[in-house]
Structure formats: structure tokens, C-alpha cells
Structure 1
Amino acid sequence: MRPTAERKISKLTLGTVQLGIPYGINNREGMLTEEQGLRLLELAWSEGITSFDTAAGYGRAEALLGRFSRGKSPFIITKLKTGVGGRIDPDKLEQNMRKEAIDSLKLLGVSSIPLLMLHNTDVLKEHGDAIEAGLRSLRKEGLIERAGISVAYNTEEEYSLIGSRLLNDLYEAVQLPMNLLDHRPLRNGWLRKLKERGKLVFVRSVFLQGLILMQPNELGKTMAKAKSPLMELHDLAGKYRFPLPQMAVSFVRDCGSVDSLIIGAETEGQIRENLRLMAGPPLPEELREEILNRFANIDDAVITPHLWAPR
């Protein structure tokens, strides 16, 4: 089932984690006030951004989206994290999922969540069937319109665990990380498989939480492994006279199997700049090939944010 006309998905989805918690290795603004956050959301809407990505774990982000969306019909993606802590009775798990969904509904101020995604894929190993039963129940009740999975790490182990689930018709959408330094969904064929099955594909981490936009000399000792690939990216940008931010957006945008890029913002200027980048030129084919070849085997410690040590 594709989105109705009232709930259009824009090519740029605004990520809202910055509205609820301090986030990003390159965050220079800190966490926004509620009023700043609301102004950011209103600007995004006025500029044609109609889809917004959030989660129950993003602090006050859901509540801010609820205040903003009164009288509007945005396409809201939110996520639940459930079944943590080992074995749990399937009936209890479904009850917990229903409670979490209702809590999100209340904060978002909607009668049905356009897209509810599972935020922690590891839980599928022990509770996959129970979670799917819970999601089907939520959809049958009308509490959610669609269900999806948010891929966490892009590792072979994760895709091995969730691969058969990703292709299940229950999950109409998949969110995954991909960027100039991490193109594993392209290499392992999963991006193609998802589109062949008609899934909506959302890509996050386009700037790798801001790392790709940093200067190599800004990195501390704990991120030393990122200096070399970051320098290579800057070298490529200079060689082709193609700005690095545009390179990052065009690379993901033009993969051919991506419905929307999820990019957060801390300022109104960043929203306008991200929209400008979305309308920017495609990569020269030679540059795309160099990116795919030169960054084929980047260390997991660089491309996996949860492995980053505090700066």
C-alpha cells in the first residue's frame, strides 16, 4: 500500500532527533529550544518537506511534532524499541507494543501512525514472530497504517538475522544507513532486493552524523581512524571540483532505489541548504566509480556510530 495523497512522502524527510536530544558528532548548536524546534518544523513544511522521522527514544521530539502537525497531514515515521531484556511472554510483548504505540499516538496527536518502525532489530532473533503478530494487530486496529524495520548497523550478521523478515509483506518500508563511506546496502544487494519487493526505502546517515562534513584536523584521537578516509573524500571533492556536501547527497539520492533521504537540521539555514543540495547536480560517473572503489572496505569503527568512543 502506497501513501495516500493526504500523506505525501517528500524526497527529503526531516530527521527530528536533534529536536529532542543532543545529537551528532558535528553538532555545533546544542539542543534547540521548543520554540526553535517548532519554527524549524514550520519552515520545513512551508518549503515542501512533508515527511518527518522521529522515535519514542528521541526525547521530546514526538511531542513537538504533535504540536506542529495540528491542522496538517504530515507523513510521520516513528519507531518503537521493544522486547529488550531476554525472553518475554508473547502476550506481554504485544501489550507492551500496544502501550508504546498508544503513547506515541497521544504525543503525535494523531489517530493512526502513518508508519511505525521497529527500532531494535536484534530483538527479532528471539521475538520475531511475536513482534510481527503485535504489528499486525496494531494495523488491524487502525492504530498504525504501515509497519517497517529500521536497519541498525548494516552488518552481514544483522542482514542474516533480519533478511527474511525484511522481505515479509508486513513490512512495507525499510530505513537503513548509507553514505559515501558506507555503501554496504548497494554492495550486498539489499537495496535492489527491497525495491524489487516494492518496499519504501528511507536512507539516513547521509552525512554520517556530520562526520563527512568535518575537516580532518577537527577529529580527536578517538576518531583517528576516520582521518585518512576523510582526507581522501576532500581530495576527491577537489579533484572533481564537486563540493563534498553535494557529493554526499547526490551519491545517495541517485542510487535509483531510494524513496527519501532522512536528514536532520539544527538551523533554518541547514534546512534551506539541504533542500538546495537535494536539487543539485548528479555525480559524474567517474566520481561515483571512484567512491565505490576507494571506500569499499572502511573500518567498522569509522562507519558505525555506536562504536565511536566519546570525543
Structure 2
Amino acid sequence: MGETKRATGQPKLTLGTVQLGLPYGIHNREGMPSEERSFGILREAWEGGVVCYDTAAAYGQSEDVLGRFFEGKRPTIVTKIHLNPEPGASGEQIGREMRSCIEQSLSRLRMNSIPVVMLHNTRIMEHFGDQVTAAFQTMLSEGLIGRAGISVATNTEEEYRYLSVYLDHPAYEAIQLPMSVLDHRPVVNGCLGRLAGAGKTVYVRSVFLQGLLYMKEDEVPDHLHEAKSLVRLLQDLSENYSVSIAQMAVSYIRDLEGVDSLVIGAETAEQVKANLELIEGPALPGRLREEIAERFRSVPEYVVTPPVWRK
């Protein structure tokens, strides 16, 4: 696992905004903020130098909130669309659905062109990948979007099997995937290295596993009992190396070769400040990086896949 950063110019921190549209996260203590508080969070980020914001049509009011706050400004917005094609849908039908989704996001975001649009539900690529790709190419040529991308959902072998050819496709310049100190699958399976070699912009989300990494052992829900010993081990490493778990989580992923930006959300303006400090924090000692790589190489898939957690 290399630690040399590529000079992509991509900001190190992308503010995740699902929290501005939905109550989100296993460790969420604040609920969904009011619009006034959401604007406070966005103001703290914008004035702190954050220029990139991650959202999705599926994130409740998030796109609307961003549109109202950033009207007249020029942030880099990364949004995601969710498609529901009928079995046997034609390329023309998929193109119409994608155009409708993108136009709705344009309206909510109050933009003429969205900097980055990603496919949110990757499962449809198994049967409609070529049609989705062709439609994205059309939207790119028309200037409705600046770059197209794919948001990897679960990091499973099955998902990478049907996504592989599209992750390599030149139409997709931006890729988002989940990764954390407990989830090394894109490194182990070679995906991150391939994306780096192809010059893709890689956004990493779930750095804190929806807040699971912040929990104490006795706070971990029973349905994630397998995570209790892992959380305890993280706490031991934190104490042994005098590095906070939050800094460990951020620095470990930030400094992987091929990672361009970390998507980190916030429930309060104070959390934005803390995340900005973390993203500029120190690199981890080499031995700690080695211990993380060794000890968490094969964490049970259920523990590191929030979409399949029982709520």
C-alpha cells in the first residue's frame, strides 16, 4: 500500500451532505438539522475552504438545501442518480429516464450543468451497463454534466465482477467507493490501484463506517456483535500510538495511493471544523499503518457493509 499522493488538484475534503436531507448514521446524535443549521454547516465548510459537496437525489432535501445555499456561487457538486429501468428497457428509454433524473437534480440544485453526476444503484449495470454508458456520454456531450461517474455500493466480489469493465471505461472519470481502516477490499482486490493507474478521480466515503468507529465496545448494537472486538482493537491501537481513532481513520485512507478526496459528513458546524483539522492532520507512523493493514485485512463482510446492516 503506497502512501504517495497524486497531484490531481482535487480537494482533500468533500463535505458529505446526506445528513442535511435525512437522519443518517448509526451514531447520529443530532437528527436532521433545520435549514438554518444546515446553512451554518455549509457556511463553515465554504468559508473553511471546502469547495466540493457530495449529495444525491435519494438524500431527501439535500439537493434543495445545497441549491438554496449555493445559488450564485460555484461549488463542485457531486450528485448521484438512481434509475429504475423496466426489464428489457431500450437504450432510448434509459436515456429518457436519465435525462429526467438529471434535469430534476439541475432544478433542485439551481444549476445549468452539474460538475459530477454518478450512478447510485450499480446493480443495473449488470444488464444495462452499455445503455447507461451511452446515455452518460450523450449528457456529457450536451454539457448537462461535467463528468460522469459510478458510486460503488458494497465492495463485494459480485459487484466488482459486473462493474469491472465500466470502472475502466473512459466515460467514467470519477469513482466513489466505501473504504475505512476496517474495509480494505478495494486495495486487496486491486481496484484502487487500477483506478489510480487509469487516472480516475477517486472519492472515498464511509471513512468512519457511519460512526461505528467512534463507538465504545458496549455501544455497538447487538446485530453488529462481530464489530465489538474490532472496535476494542482500534481503541488499543489508538492508545498504544497516541493517535485518536478519528485521525487514524482519516490519515490511513487519505494517504493511500489513488485516493483523491474523502467524503465526510457533519451534523454540526463544529464537526466541520474538526473534520478540516483531521484532513490536515499528520501521517500515521509506518508501524501503525502496517498493523492496521495486517490486523484488519479480512474483516467479516457484514461488518463493513452498512447497506446490509439490520437496523
> Under TM normalisation by the shorter chain, which class is it?
over 0.9
CA distance in structure 2 between the aligned counterparts of 1:220 and 1:56, rounded to whole angstroms:
29
CA distance in structure 2 between the aligned counterparts of 1:180 and 1:210, rounded to whole angstroms:
13
Instruction: Please say if 1:161 is aligned against 2:169.
Output: no
User: Which amino acid is 2:16 matched to?
Assistant: G
Offset from partner CA, 1:215-234 (integer Å, 9 cap, x none): 11111211211101111111
User: Which amino acid is 1:203 matched to?
Assistant: V
219 and 168 in structure 1: CA distance in 2 versus 1, 3 angstrom threshold: same
* 1:90 positional shift: 2.1
User: Which amino acid is 2:63 matched to?
Assistant: E
CA distance in structure 1 between the aligned counterparts of 2:13 and 2:270, rounded to whole angstroms:
15
Structure-2 residue corresponding to 1:4: none
- State the secondary structure of the residue aligned to 1:300: coil
Structure-1 residue corresponding to 2:254: 253
Q: Do the aligned residues in 2 keep the contact of 1:93 with 1:131 (CA within 8 Å)?
A: yes
Q: Do the aligned residues in 1 keep the contact of 2:82 with 2:119 (CA within 8 Å)?
A: yes
* Structure 1: runs of 5 or more not aligned: 1-7
* 1:9 positional shift: 4.0
Structure-1 residue corresponding to 2:221: 220
Q: How does 1:1-311 map to 2 (within 5 A)?
A: 9-84=10-85, 86-310=87-311
* 1:87 positional shift: 3.1
Q: Do the aligned residues in 2 keep the contact of 1:25 with 1:209 (CA within 8 Å)?
A: yes
Aligned residue pairs total 303
User: Which amino acid is 1:204 matched to?
Assistant: R
CA distance in structure 1 between the aligned counterparts of 2:127 and 2:57, rounded to whole angstroms:
22
* 1:84 positional shift: 4.7
Alpha-carbon RMSD: 1.1
* 1:54 positional shift: 0.2
CA distance in structure 2 between the aligned counterparts of 1:184 and 1:73, rounded to whole angstroms:
34
- State the secondary structure of the residue aligned to 1:78: strand
User: Which amino acid is 2:145 matched to?
Assistant: I
Identify which of structures 1 and 2 has the higher relative contact order when contacts are C-alpha pairs closer than 8 Å and 6+ apart. Answer: 2
CA distance in structure 2 between the aligned counterparts of 1:278 and 1:144, rounded to whole angstroms:
28
If the length of structure 1 is used for normalisation, what is the TM-score?
0.95
CA distance in structure 2 between the aligned counterparts of 1:156 and 1:85, rounded to whole angstroms:
25
CA distance in structure 1 between the aligned counterparts of 2:158 and 2:41, rounded to whole angstroms:
38
CA distance in structure 2 between the aligned counterparts of 1:273 and 1:190, rounded to whole angstroms:
30
Q: Do the aligned residues in 1 keep the contact of 2:196 with 2:257 (CA within 8 Å)?
A: no
If the length of structure 2 is used for normalisation, what is the TM-score?
0.95
CA distance in structure 1 between the aligned counterparts of 2:221 and 2:128, rounded to whole angstroms:
40
Q: Do the aligned residues in 1 keep the contact of 2:179 with 2:186 (CA within 8 Å)?
A: yes
* 1:198 positional shift: 0.8
Q: Do the aligned residues in 2 keep the contact of 1:9 with 1:50 (CA within 8 Å)?
A: no
Q: Percent identity?
A: 49
User: Which amino acid is 1:31 matched to?
Assistant: M
- State the secondary structure of the residue aligned to 2:203: strand
